[in-house]
Amino acid sequence: MLVRRARRCTARILSWTVFVIALVIGSREAAAYPWMIRHTYQGCVPCHADPSGAGLLTEYGRAMGENVLRTRYGSPPPDELPGYARPFFGLPTPDWLLVGASLRGGIQAQKALGTASAAPGAPPASWNSTLLLMEADLKAQVTVSRFRAYGSLGYLHNGGQTTQITDRELDNLVSREHWIGVDLGDDKQFLLRAGRIDLPFGIRFDEHDLLVRSTQTTRTNINESQQDGVAFSYSGEIVRGEIMAILGNYQINPDIVRERGYSGFVEFKLGERTAFGLSSLVTYAGEDYLTHNPHTIRQVHGLFTRVVPKWEPLVILAEVDALVTTSDAPGNGTSTTSPGMVGALQLDLEPTQGVHAVVTGETLVQNNDPMGGPGLTKIYGGWFGALWFFAPHADVRFDCVVESMSGAASIYLLPQLHIYL
């Protein structure tokens, strides 16, 4: 049965590849906060080395950060990129070299809000606080004619096991991305690359803990879900998309836990400030890395949209994905299927340049019991945040997240500072 499923997965990979290539023959322009669509930037190519967004900035991306992202305090944008907006506040670099660094940290304070079955008179839960180092990465890209080599190297005190290149309990070196690629086409609108790559899927939300990006659901966030493989992307005026053959994460062991399959998306421009897309991912692992269930096939298929209504300070981002996980139950060899659905709706309001109020609602419904019994999981969450690009190379953010799971609720607060150089 699993052999037949693997053959069907191969057929899906081939059909999806043909589908994406057929769709993306014809279009070009592209910034990577997904709400940049309010400025008519629908794609990511001018501002980022990664054609699907996030990561290392180009010179144009740094100019956008200075002119469009940050608060100007009444001063007009400069005609030319000022020295302090360049890498490391003015480091001169040749045209063939892109360099940068990103440092992000914060404090997470979490508290359980109790359940309906809590004992009367029980003492209230206390806050638990944790100091977080989320990212401390150096990034660089070398370009020679049409050829590129990209890599990142960082440090994490704890966590991030899927990104580690050293193997200690604490204080590890990590590499989230490293790849080589070649630009194709008259306008270099195609990119073929191989290496460790962010999975192309859905909206590239900055909040990597959202359920639609979580390692517990789609496993498609830009914090730790990268995979090794080969990817082909197209960035056009009407259509952009990317398809990736996943060959496994070679920074985890043993080989049996590495996923193989594909991931891809295609997004259509429906207007200057409206886009609609679809995503698909299918992987197989001999043993699931997180659940340890043997012979696991994960499928995620979804729709997403980014819309600016007539009131331009507001951007609406929405994504919904169907989840289907099939695996063998440990010990008895019987196969089980866990269907589910995950979705997010985000409103980003920018009342004045550089200041954002962000509200996000999310939900997950998944049946982990094939008979529809008590294995049903329901999670509802609300994010309430503020983001301020207050200076060159710097922004601060504060999030309040409330989550309800199986009748138990919790809240956490997360102030954070991000500096990119």
pLDDT above 90 coverage of the chain, percent: 59
More reliable by pLDDT, 114 or 347: 347
Structural domain range at position 410: 2-420
pLDDT band for position 216 (cuts 50, 70, 90)? confident
Our count of domains for the chain comes to 1
pLDDT of 330 over the 80 cut: no
pLDDT, residue 296, reads 95
- Residue 132: CATH number of its domain: 2.40.160.10
Q: Cα angle vertex 286, ends 283, 288, to 5°?
A: 70
pLDDT of 345 over the 90 cut: yes
pLDDT, residue 78, reads 82
Residue that the structure tokens 């360049």 belong to: 86
Average pLDDT score, the chain: 86
DSSP conformation letters of 148-198: EEEEEEEEESS--GGGBSS--SSSEEE-S-EEEEEEESTTS-EEEEEEEE-
Residue type, 286: G
pLDDT, residue 16, reads 39
β-bridge mates for residue 123, sequence order: none
List pLDDT tens digits, range 367-380: 875 444 457 889 99
pLDDT band for position 1 (cuts 50, 70, 90)? very low
Report which DSSP code applies to 79. S
> Which residue pairs from 172-176 have beta carbons closer than 8 angstroms and sit at least 24 positions apart in sequence?
174/137, 175/151, 175/251, 176/137, 176/152, 176/222, 176/223, 176/224, 176/226
Q: What is the mean pLDDT of residues 285-313?
A: 94
pLDDT, residue 374, reads 57
pLDDT of 18 over the 90 cut: no
Instruction: Note the pTM of the prediction, 2 decimals.
Output: 0.85
Q: What is the mean pLDDT of residues 14-32?
A: 37
Q: What is the mean pLDDT of residues 224-250?
A: 95
Asked if the peptide bond before residue 254 counts as cis, ω within 30 degrees of 0, the response is: yes
List pLDDT tens digits, range 85-115: 888 888 888 999 999 999 999 999 998 886 6
Residue that the structure tokens 């004619």 belong to: 145
Least confident of 156-170, 254-268, 294-308: 156-170
Q: Are 152 and 132 in contact (CB under 8 A)?
A: no
pLDDT above 70 coverage of the chain, percent: 86
Exposed, middle or buried, 173 (CB in 10 Å: 0-12/13-18/19+)?
middle
pLDDT, residue 9, reads 45
DSSP H or E segment with residue 341: strand 335-352
pLDDT, residue 8, reads 47
Q: What is the mean pLDDT of residues 112-133?
A: 72
pLDDT, residue 391, reads 92
pLDDT, residue 122, reads 57
pLDDT, residue 29, reads 35
pLDDT of 73 over the 80 cut: yes
